[in-house]
Amino acid sequence: MRFDDKTVFVTGGGSGIGRATAIGCAEEGAAVVVADVDRDAAEGTATAIEAADGEATARELDVRDAEALTEAIDATAEESGLDVLINNAGVSHPRSDMEDIEGETRDRVIDINTKGVWNGCRAAIPQFKAQGSGAIVNTASLAGLIGMPGGAAYSLSKGAVVNFTRAIAAELGSHGVRANAVCPGVVETPLVTGDRDPEEWEGLRDRMAGEYPLGRLGRPEDVANAIRFLASEEAAWITGHALVVDGGYSCS
């Protein structure tokens, strides 16, 4: 299996894309560390993995806390080694014109989506360099590549993740370490459905699905499959890439 004897550390592993990624990596043999600010969610994913005879550890942490992330990544490396880091934790903000987005909202999005990725990489890269191997996959967004009205702070955070990924890929290649990003279109997860009324959401989902050439929104597994590929040896000669996973949304 693709992740036999490998250890994969996933942030935001308690829900949505991170949960599907953690479960998918475990199904392919990985020992998975499920890190999330939501302890119950992290434990829920770890329990699901263990129930399927997989190996998982839940860790409650906030990716904004560089020290906590370093401590968790160091402990993982010491206990079982570290092969793959998936910086996936992220948040969005209500759609709004740029000038109406409060500084506090902007800072929260940047701190989690961008500095959180920085903190994860800063913690893992010394370990990866020392062992001469490692794969990083950062969850960016289609909003980091194309302009999406109403999402200025989110776009700011995700555009930075895309180009940060390219920068570290260029730095790390000679150390045997790869770094890539995924750029999903709209995926049906709590980040998108939020606290919307289910009926209102169904109508909105159907309208949005009509804008996708493949006729539907994304499922967490659609993105998890792309992340697993980039994290695996099958992608051994791919680094610095931002892989669009969007049902064709951006091709027209």
Contact residues for ligand NAD (CB under 6 A)?
Answer: 11-12, 14-18, 36-38, 41, 62-64, 88-91, 112, 116, 139, 141, 184, 186-187, 189-192
Name the DSSP letter for residue 62: -
In the complex with ligand NAD, which residue's Cβ is closer, 16 or 240? 16
In the complex with ligand NAD, which residue's Cβ is closer, 63 or 179? 63
The 10 Å CB-count burial string (b at 16+, else e) for 9-40 is: bbbbbbbbbbbbbbbbbbbbebbbbbbbbeee
Catalytic residue flag (residue 154): yes
In the complex with ligand NAD, which residue's Cβ is closer, 38 or 171? 38
- Give the residue among 211, 137, 120 at the shortest CA–CA distance from 177: 137
Q: Considering the complex, what minimum distance in angstroms separates the CB of residue 108 from ligand NAD?
A: 9
33 contacts 72 by C-beta, under 8 angstroms = yes
Q: Considering the complex, what minimum distance in angstroms separates the CB of residue 116 from ligand NAD?
A: 6
- Give the residue among 209, 168, 177 at the shortest CA–CA distance from 192: 209
- Give the residue among 154, 17, 4 at the shortest CA–CA distance from 81: 4
Q: Considering the complex, what minimum distance in angstroms separates the CB of residue 221 from ligand NAD?
A: 11
Please pick, among 118, 154, 164, 249, the residue that the annotation labels catalytic.
154
Q: Which residues are catalytic?
A: 154
